[in-house]
């Protein structure tokens, strides 16, 4: 994925330096590095930002400052406004996943706007945008803070980027069938020796149950071997290791 496809994170009139730092950390966790600040309340640089960035200092150092939102998104083809739905504007409202996929599909530059901590984006800021992006949250509680909003949208973007190679489901494949068969045969032999199968009319049904129970485990070759060792230990005589 080319660098230009990574969305730019635009913090519009952010208030606390601490929150700018947290947003930088959230970005870098998902591989985003380009932060733009529009008219930060306390100027820039802000000494409170660094300590909250937990090592994402490079993001802060490269942050660019703009006087207006318009300037900040001048080179961006798509602009997403992170906010709740607005009654005052008629424009598309999408979820984080749809935003992530739109950004990933395009090679053009995108920006995501986040408003000031207390008041959120103004109508004028939202009106500049291609779409509103809203994280669906608990309507009875619902209070995402700035860093939380940034991390959720950065995360959704990252899922479609190369970062998000799904982890291998299993570190070890299930054992070949014959190995599980060997385990079941061993167990069966021991159970016969113990007189476990009774009455005879139920023996086949019990054997089927045992087969299902062990087949569904998905045990690897290593695990099948371990369980075979456990069965041997259970039926064998106690070993006095201390004495030897």
Please list every residue from 172 through 201 that binds its own copies, using CB under 8 A.
Answer: 172, 187, 190-191, 193-196, 198-199
Of the candidates 160, 165, 207, which has an alpha carbon nearest to the alpha carbon of residue 187? 207
Q: Shortest distance, CB of residue 43 to its own copies, whole angstroms?
A: 26
Interface mask toward its own copies for 31-50; x: CB under 8 A: x-------------------
Secondary structure (3-state) at 81: strand
Report the residue from 127, 135, 160, 184 that binds its own copies according to the rule CB under 8 A. Answer: 135
Report the interhelical angle of 177-193 vs 221-235 (nearest 10°): 10
Reduced to 3 DSSP states, what percent helix, strand and coil does the chain have, rounded to the nearest 5? Answer: 45, 10, 45
Site for its own copies in 2-21 (CB under 8 A): none
Of the candidates 145, 140, 131, 143, which has an alpha carbon nearest to the alpha carbon of residue 95? 131
Q: Shortest distance, CB of residue 45 to its own copies, whole angstroms?
A: 20
Report the residue from 43, 51, 142, 176 that binds its own copies according to the rule CB under 8 A. Answer: 142
CA distance linking residue 240 with residue 244, whole number of Å = 7
CA angle 140, 145, 151 (to 5 degrees): 110
Site for its own copies in 95-124 (CB under 8 A): 95, 97-98
Count of chain residues binding its own copies (CB under 8 A) = 77
Report the residue from 5, 66, 155, 160 that binds its own copies according to the rule CB under 8 A. Answer: 155
Q: Shortest distance, CB of residue 39 to its own copies, whole angstroms?
A: 26
Site for its own copies in 207-226 (CB under 8 A): 209-210, 213, 216-220, 222-223, 226
Binding flag, residue 160, its own copies (CB under 8 A): no
CB-based contact 18:49 (threshold 8 Å): yes
């Amino acid at each position: 994925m080319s660098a230009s496809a990574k969305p730019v994170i635009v913090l519009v009139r952010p208030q606390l330096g601490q929150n700018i730092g947290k947003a930088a950390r959230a970005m870098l966790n998902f591989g985003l590095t380009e932060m733009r600040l529009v008219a930060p309340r306390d100027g820039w640089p802000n000494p409170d930002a660094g300590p909250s960035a937990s090592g994402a200092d490079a993001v802060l150092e490269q942050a660019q400052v703009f006087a207006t939102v318009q300037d900040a998104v001048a080179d961006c083809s798509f602009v997403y406004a992170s906010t709740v739905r607005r009654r005052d504007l008629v424009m598309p409202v999408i979820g984080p996943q749809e935003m992530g996929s739109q950004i990933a599909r395009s090679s053009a530059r995108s920006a995501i706007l986040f408003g000031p901590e207390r008041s959120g984006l103004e109508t004028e800021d939202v009106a500049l945008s291609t779409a509103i992006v809203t994280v669906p949250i608990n309507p009875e509680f619902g209070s995402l803070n700035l860093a939380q909003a940034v991390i959720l949208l950065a995360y959704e973007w990252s899922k479609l980027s190369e970062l998000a190679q799904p982890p291998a489901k299993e570190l070890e494949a299930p054992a070949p069938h014959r190995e599980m068969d060997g385990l079941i045969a061993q167990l069966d032999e021991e159970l016969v020796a113990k007189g476990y199968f009774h009455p005879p009319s139920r023996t086949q049904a019990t054997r089927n149950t045992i087969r299902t129970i062990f087949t569904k485990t998905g045990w690897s070759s290593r695990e099948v071997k371990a369980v075979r060792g456990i069965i041997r230990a259970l039926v064998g005589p106690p070993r006095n290791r201390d004495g030897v």
